[in-house]
Every structure is written in C-alpha cells, then in structure tokens.
Amino acid sequence: MAPHRKSRPPSPMGIRTPALATAALTSVALLSQTANAAPSEEPRPSLEEVEKKVGDLYRQAETASEKYNAAKEKTTKQKKRVDTLLDDVARRTEKLNDAREELGTFAAAQYRTGAAAPDTASLLLADNPQDYFDQTHLMDRLTSRQKQSVDDYVTQQTATTEKRQEASESLETLTRTQSSLKTSKADVQRKLATARDLLSKLTAEEKARLAAIERQKQEEAQRKADELARQQAADAERRRQEAAQSTAGTSTGSGTASGTSGSGSTASTAKADKALAFARAQIGKPYVWGASGPGSYDCSGLTQAAWKAAGVTLPRTTWDQVKSGTTVSVNSAQPGDLVFFYDDISHVGIYIGDGMMIHAPKPGAYVREESIYYMPIHSVVRPA
C-alpha cells in the first residue's frame, strides 16, 4: 500500500507557487537585461540640423583661416625683422671686438710703461664704460687717438647691447606668433574634419535632399541678385538722364559738362577691369585655406591677388582688407569692389556687376561666380 501523502494547501488567489516563482525570475531577468544594456545612442540629427552644423563649421573654419593668414603674415614680417636684427648684432659685435682689441693695445702699452694700466684694463671689464669714465676720469689721461678708440668702444658696446635686447624681444614675439599660427592651423583642420565626418554619415537620399536645399538657396540668392541688377540699371539710367539734362542746361557755356568722368575715375575703372580679368581667369581653381595662388586660393587670397594684378596692394586678411578703401552702399557697388560677409567679416568676394561676384567659396568648392546674396552682406568697399 502506497504511503499516505499530505496534500499542500492552495497558494493564495489560486496561483500555484512554481508559476509565481517562474514569473518572478523572468521579471528579474528582464530587469537585469535592461540594467546591463548599453545606453541608447543619441538621436540622429535631422538633415536640417546637419546642414546648419556643417555651414557653421565651414564659417568657423574660414574665420580660423583668416586668423592663420594674419599670424602667417605677421610671422613672415617678424622673421625678416629678427634676421635683420641678428645680422646687425653680428656686425656690431665685430666692430665692438675691433674696438676692444685696439683699446687693449693701449692698455698693454700703458702697462709696459707703468702708466694707468689698471684703469684702462678695468675699462674692458666694466659693465658700463661711461660710468667708469665718470668715476675714474680716465679720459683726462688719454691721448686724442686713445680717446677716439675709447669713444668708439663705448658707442659700439652701447649699440650692440641695445640691438641684442631688441633682437631678443623680437625673437620672443616671433615665438608667440608662431604658436598662434600653429593653434589657428589646428583649429581649421579640426573644424573641417568634423564637417567631413558629419557629411560622410549621410545616406544617398539625404545627400540628394541636401543638394536640393543648396539649389533652393542658390535660386533665392539669384532672385535677389536679379532684383539688384534691375535696380542698378534703373539708377544708372536716371543718372544718365540727369547728366543729359545738366549738359543741355549748360550747353551755352564752355568747359567740361557736368557728370563727365575725369581722369581719376577712368584710372580707377581701368584698375578694376584688370582685377576682374585676373579673377575671372582663376575660375575653376580649388579653394584651399591659407592659399593665395597661383594654383589655389582662399577668399582673401583671391581678392588680394586680383588687385595686385591691377597694381594695388591689399593686406592679406579680410579684417584688414575691409579697411583698405572707401565704404559704399550695396546699391552703389561697382565692378571691382570688395563685398564682405557675416558679422565677423570672415569672407570676401569681388563684385562683377548685376548682383554677382567672383569668390573662393569654401572647402571642397572652386572659384566661381555667385550671387552676393548667397551670404549675409556686411559691407562693400572700393579699393581704388
């Protein structure tokens, strides 16, 4: 006969204990998996966010490029100055050695005769010869030739000391500028690398949509350029009519009629034509930050080279170029004028008329014609 087994009481609410345990274990496992799971990735930025971020990075890179250009220009000038100072110090040191040698000859002669040997010998070791003269009255005991040698020695020592100090200070400044140059270069490269990384993560569809956004921007900018061209044409026609009326009103007099361009205006126009001809010849060459030709350009490198071809020297950076001429209104812009962009004046192009310019746009692009309204305009400057 089978042994009698005592039955277990039912679990509360009619749920069997093994089922409850299984459910609890499952919950613990799920919680454990959730706790151990890798944190969710950041949400993917929208295409509009990527487009804005890339645009901002390119602008920041261009600003850093202008800082690089400024530091490079300053470094070049300072290096020339340091080289000149060091050459001058070397020449003065040679003259000082010659003066010291001649003075030493007199000291040796005086020593042999027992006359004022300590005085003249001590002079060669003095930190400040002039103070030494004042204290010892050595000049009173020297011949005219000896006095001339002492004067030469004092002059050369003073000048050499001053030039050495000047060269040392210039070297320190050069070191700081070279450090700034290195920092700006790294800043440009870092921002461009970030922009490339963002663009590389776009799908083919997103790249197509990004291109469509770019086309819309171009079309809107072109519409504004066409509007400016019509306005400028109307203004030119009005001025022509006013000039004709003025000429008719003074036809009984003699001399040049009012409104006729003088030789200065003709010369300025000729220079602008040369600058534009040069700029047009660069169309299709790549944008390279820090470049000023002949194979590639950044924005200010192109405008500087264009006006140099016209015989006008412009500074290297946008921040200096904007100060190198007369500011005019956008409506008054003439071919050859420089158009500056953004509040920080980090971009520049050369105006060609009808609301258009030639410029070196950005990394990955080429020198091209484009509406001046593609970017927010800061100011227009006439260099010549």
Catalytic residues: 299, 347, 359
Q: For 250-335, where are the alpha helices, taking DSSP H only?
A: 263-281, 299-309, 318-321
Strand order from edge to edge, sheet including 356-359: 326-328, 377-382, 338-341, 347-353, 356-359, 368-371
CA neighbours closer than 13 Å in the CB half-sphere of residue 282: 35
Contact between residue 207 and residue 200 where contact means Cβ atoms under 8 Å apart: no
Whose CA is closest to 58, among 221, 199, 217?
199
Provide the 8-state DSSP code for 201.
Answer: T
CA–CA distance from 301 to each of 202, 309, 318, 322, 367 (Å)? 32, 12, 9, 14, 11
Whose CA is closest to 69, among 337, 306, 321, 364?
321
- As given in the structure block, the two tokens for residue 335 are 């071919």
Which DSSP string corresponds to 329-357? Answer: -STT--TT-EEEETTTT-EEEEEEETTEE
